[in-house]
Amino acid sequence: MSRDRDKVHVEANVIEDLFTTFFLNYAPDVPILDPLQSPNKYYSRSPLLFWAILTVASRRYAADPSLLLSLSNATFQFALQQIDSPAADIHTVEALVLLLSWQFPSTQQHEESGYVMSGALIHLAFKYGLHTAESSQDFVRVKLNLSECEVRRRRQLWAACIVVYQENSAMIGNACLQIPAPLICKEIIRLKCQEPILRLHLQGIITRANNAFDENGFAIETAGEERTLNILIRAYEDEIKMAESHYQNLTMKEKLYVYFAHLQIQAMNFFKPPDKIDNVSLGRLYSVATSLVESVAELEMDTDFIRYSTAYLMRSMALATCILLRLIKTPFVEFINADEAKSLFLTALQLMQKFSVANNDAPARCATAVSRLWRSDRVFKNPDGSHNLRLRVRTRYGMSLMWDCMWWCREEFMGQEGAYSRLPPSESNMTDTQQAAAARPQQLSEQATAEPSPSQQVPLSFDWSMDDWFFNPDLNMQDGQWDVPINLMDSVDPVPALKLTILP
């Protein structure tokens, strides 16, 4: 039957089309709903969940392109009302997971609404006991009679909540909570799908890495801070490589999550003084950005991949595009293949534009900004024409590179000149020759950037290491069982890794 919401009318045949589209093309990314249930059943269960499904599925609905904007505005307001409503329940959590995975085609009015709502999502999940599915009775006032199937679905929903919450934070460079290890291991590792486990694993690494970068500071003014940053980058890069080596037969799409994780960690090299950024680090960064762009291009050619991609993967392309721009438009270009990089950048820009689903939405604005900077002669330069390679936005972790590019665009093309000093104080009294020398990256060999021996390493002791956890590269699932290593590290007296076997 047809439905109405805030003056938005959707006919029954359109509803059927959208539900079919959703479960065919969108649901595989967030497998938390039953495709066998009818639209009317979903509506009776939760009107918000029903409208969330329609909103996501309408993103590329060719039969009525105007439907997306109408539905997104109505559903956004509905979701805000439901979050703090007595009618909110576990289906409210399911609806938020969907809406935050693809997000609204918002303009500046709701620029980062996803980040705010993801915080509400994780707290609602705790409120309903999803973090401990078998003990959900402890969090409600009525008797629950959960079947094993229902318990398993709650575990899957909890996994989706963590992934969506942490990805919504990481993709815009904002801080997020680190979920305690036992809450993850006891419930989520029972999942038997590889992609959710991979995404959880990588987001755990990124979250801990960002906490470590926070602890070290973003200014990177002393040799000790620079040395610690180098160690942190190497350590978390190695952990991502260990994670990648564990999983078997990664699909090209799964590899995109690995590439994005590498980009976010390696981008921290730009927090160093420009003359301390070595050519080997630049080469690695360029290589990963190349792999990400080429993989998306191949997927798009073969499967129309971008049409149904999540917001997180869109941001991965945005970061890769901004990294390529910075490498090409600065003296760093001499350490990469310039012609190849320019061709790759133009490909990335075209792909970025394809992520857009509405005029002036986030992908469209990002593509426009980067396109303008590509044609600019002033980007990454001081008023006198000398290069300004120092990263100015310095508190958004690896995503700082993207936001830094946005500010270069705002200053040159949007009348917001002066938000950041073009010449950092440390260079204000330098001569042109000194500035040119500072702009040249260090030329190092692979041997020079090799891991230091244990005696050379600076011991790291951070409070954030408490209740830290990671997956062991030897982790295997056999007969439905995961061997789960929990690494509980204490800054004074580390506790050895514990080995647990979690039964399904």
The verdict on residue 206 lying in a domain is no
Sign of the Cα pseudo-torsion (432, 433, 434, 437, in order): positive
Q: Which residue has the higher pLDDT, 454 or 114?
A: 114
pLDDT tens, 246-266?
888 899 999 999 999 999 999
Q: Which residue in 216, 213, 258 sits closest to 239, CA to CA?
A: 258
Question: Sheet of 481-486: strands edge to edge?
Answer: 477-478, 481-486, 498-502
- Write out the residue range of the structural domain in which residue 487 sits: 466-502
Whole-angstrom Cα distance, residue 307 to residue 357? 9
Q: How far is CA 60 from CA 17, 57, 99, 347, in A?
A: 12, 7, 15, 22
The verdict on residue 487 lying in a domain is yes
For 167-184, what is the mean pLDDT? 83
Q: Which residue in 233, 174, 245, 225 sits closest to 205, CA to CA?
A: 233
Kindly report the number of other CB atoms within 10 A of residue 456's CB atom: 9
The pLDDT score that the predictor gives to residue 440 is 56
The verdict on residue 490 lying in a domain is yes
**Residue 170 pLDDT exceeds 50:** yes
For 133-158, what is the mean pLDDT? 85
Question: Three-state SS across 315-361?
Answer: HHHHHHHHHHHHHHCCHHHHHCCHHHHHHHHHHHHHHHHHCCCCCCC
For 145-151, what is the mean pLDDT? 85
For 316-343, what is the mean pLDDT? 96
**Residue 349 pLDDT exceeds 50:** yes
The pLDDT score that the predictor gives to residue 104 is 80
**Residue 465 pLDDT exceeds 50:** no
Q: Which residue in 248, 271, 481 sits closest to 391, CA to CA?
A: 271
The verdict on residue 306 lying in a domain is no
The verdict on residue 449 lying in a domain is no
**Residue 482 pLDDT exceeds 50:** no
Non-local (6+) Cβ contacts of 104 within 8 A are: 55, 72, 75, 76, 110, 113, 114
Is residue 478 classed as helix, strand or coil in its secondary structure? Answer: strand
The verdict on residue 479 lying in a domain is yes
Contact (Cβ atoms closer than 8 angstroms) between residue 398 and residue 267: yes
The pLDDT mean for the chain works out to 83
The verdict on residue 478 lying in a domain is yes
The verdict on residue 477 lying in a domain is yes
Q: How many domains does the chain have?
A: 1
pTM of the model: 0.84
Angle, CA of 259, 172 and 118, to the nearest 5°: 110
Q: Which residue in 444, 474, 453 sits closest to 231, CA to CA?
A: 453
pLDDT tens, 194-230?
888 899 889 999 999 999 999 998 988 889 999 999 9
Q: What is the largest CA-CA distance in the chain?
A: 76
Task: Indicate the pairing of strand 8-10 with strand 481-486.
Answer: unpaired
CA contacts within 13 A on the Cβ side of 433: 0
The pLDDT score that the predictor gives to residue 443 is 60
The pLDDT score that the predictor gives to residue 195 is 87
pLDDT tier at 442, thresholds 50, 70, 90: low
pLDDT tens, 354-389?
999 988 899 999 999 999 999 999 999 998 999 999
Torsion of CA 326, 330, 335, 339, to 10 degrees: 80
Q: Which amino acid is at 346?
A: L
pLDDT tier at 191, thresholds 50, 70, 90: low
Whole-angstrom Cα distance, residue 371 to residue 373? 5
Provide the angle, in degrees to the nearest 10, between the axes of the packed helices 223-246 and 194-216: 170
Phi, psi of 428 (to 5 degrees): -65, -25
